[in-house]
Amino acid sequence: MKIINRAVNVILLCTILCITGCSQSQKTDQTTGGEKPAVSSDSSNAAGSEEPAVSYVQMLDYNKDLTRAQKDDNYRTTYEIFVYSFCDSDGDGIGDLQGIVSELDYIEDLGFDALWLTPVHPSSTYHKYDVDDYYAIDPAFGTMEDYETLLKECHDRGIRVYMDLVLNHTSDDNAWFAAASEYLHKLPSGSEPDTSDCKYLDYYNFSRESSDGYAPLLGTDWYYEARFWSEMPDLNLSSEAVRGEIRDILAFWLGKGVDGFRLDAVTYYIYADPDANVEFLRFLTEAGRSIRPDCYFVGEAWTDRNTIAQLYASGIDSLFDFPFSGNEGFIANIINGTYKASDYVKGMLLAQEAYSSANPDYVDAPFYTNHDMGRSAGYYAADEGPVTKMAYAMSLFMTGNSFVYYGEEIGMKGAGKDENKRAPMYWSDDPDDPDMCAGPPDMDEFPMKFPSVAEQMKDNLSLLTWFREVIRVRNTFPAIARGTTEGVDSLSDDNVAAFIRRDPENGDLLIVMNLRADTAVKEMTGAVSAADGVDSAGIDRGLTLAAVLNTGEEDITYEQGVLTLPGYSIAVFTLDNIQ
């Protein structure tokens, strides 16, 4: 099933939505809710064959005229692709670069405007996080020409491309390590090594002493630092020679047109030395910007808020906001009821204060899951969709450059060992679908919880439809990604999270989220005070319901200053009367 088939499905879905919306003459103004249109359960095509009923969902009609605000900055909505498992173009069962090119229509239609590809450099592992050669493309993924084609096709669509750059370690097959290893094997017993004879000795951390985090160099009495795995020797990032190599690597890929870099394992660069990690990140960002001023960096710092804030002092653009992610993070604990809905706002305020104090120009990098985490659809066993939908909306409604792991938009499952978290993109149920990958070696067999892309494209209530609409709203209102957050205590409680997103350049927003299953009713008149920047005496003039997001078929209504939010839904207001 090639992308043209998915594009046709999108066109058909839009046609169905248009027919559904245009035929509802009894429907009144959306701001007051109105009646739902009746939807036949036995509609059929001209040939008389049965077609499934089309679910009515308010947001599809209400938001249909929203248009993307054209912005060219680092505040993006980024799609993470685990290359090995995404789309196979040549029938070998392995995802590749041409497969990604073939699915750019799908990615663009969802509203993503940046891609993060997991490592594409040559490596003997399926995940490629141990690099053999920083200047090449793994043959399993394609050629350098394929990568250049991908860059061009993305840039033609306004999509940026971030390269996953693994600098903490290389593979033990890397030519640098091989040369150093060969030298030490030949070094006479008792002799001292000399970097003038082999400069690559300085590229790694060798020692004659065995200690924690070091692996033996077999056949010698030497050890080398390898914090992750013996086949991943750590680079000596304090070495000027290594830093010179890194400058060359940055220049090579920026010259190819790469827009930035995702940095792996930044808290391990110089082990147990936070100040040295900050210094190295400062070197790295300054080196990249000296080559290309708009070079973007986002770092993986799997740690707490305070440590992330310390790393922001380096001047790096973004760091992944791990405290909100995963099945034990802020979002999961709020959506499952462990924390109050109002704690979502408090968490965003704490992050905003910590990160902006360290770097006023920071761009947060919220995400919910990635290739190292269990899939979010597995967090809520009894959920049939609404909870998973809202959890991801909470991530996408945070400020910054928001990241979404491939397959999360259709609720893929995968937990336990790493291979399971990197299962093939679920394009269809057809076993002969040529786009489907075989998946990583040693991956378990397990059923998916939600339908495939092909099936979800036909369903107005699907996760896929929800993601498209959430990203549409995010892309329409720049304040969602670019503004600063202010809490609205009068509206926030155990079930509802309400906050203002301040953006003097693009306009302020009031966002109200019902994070529970029960309907919430909020008296808006006077709820947002003049201190919040809204004329409370003219609240009905001050607030305009600009967008709605529904996880079900119940309408969001706003009448005479009263907002009614069905379970798991979101209302977005523009603020017209700013003080």
Which residues are identified as catalytic? 264, 300
Q: What is the DSSP string of 434-489?
A: TT----STTPPP---SS--HHHHTT-TTSHHHHHHHHHHHHHH-THHHHSEEEE-T
Cα–Cα distance measured from residue 6 to residue 12, given in angstroms and rounded to the nearest whole number: 10
Q: Residue 162 phi/psi, 5° resolution?
A: -105, 130
The neighbouring-strand residues paired with 263 are 165, 299
Please report which helix (H) or strand (E) contains residue 34, including its range: none
Are 322 and 329 a contacting pair, CB within 8 Å? yes
Distances (CA, A) of 419 to 128, 375, 414, 445, 540: 13, 12, 8, 11, 53
Chain centroid to CA 109: how far?
Answer: 16
Q: Give the burial class of 125: count Cβ atoms within 10 A of its Cβ; 0-12 exposed, 13-18 middle, 19 or more buried.
A: middle
Q: Are strands 509-514 and 496-502 parallel, antiparallel or unpaired?
A: antiparallel
Q: Residue 471 phi/psi, 5° resolution?
A: -70, -35
Cα–Cα distance measured from residue 546 to residue 534, given in angstroms and rounded to the nearest whole number: 16
Q: Which residues of 525-537 are buried (b: 16+ CB within 10 A; e: fewer)?
A: eebbeeebbbbbe
Task: Give the tokens for residue 379.
Answer: 């967090």
**Helix, strand, or coil here: 542?**
helix
> For the chain, what is the radius of gyration of the CA atoms?
26
Give which of 380, 441, 368, 439 is closest to 405, Cα–Cα: 368
Which residue is listed with tokens 């792991």? 405
Cα–Cα distance measured from residue 489 to residue 65, given in angstroms and rounded to the nearest whole number: 31
Distances (CA, A) of 208 to 214, 262, 268: 10, 34, 22
Are 421 and 503 a contacting pair, CB within 8 Å? no
The neighbouring-strand residues paired with 214 are 225
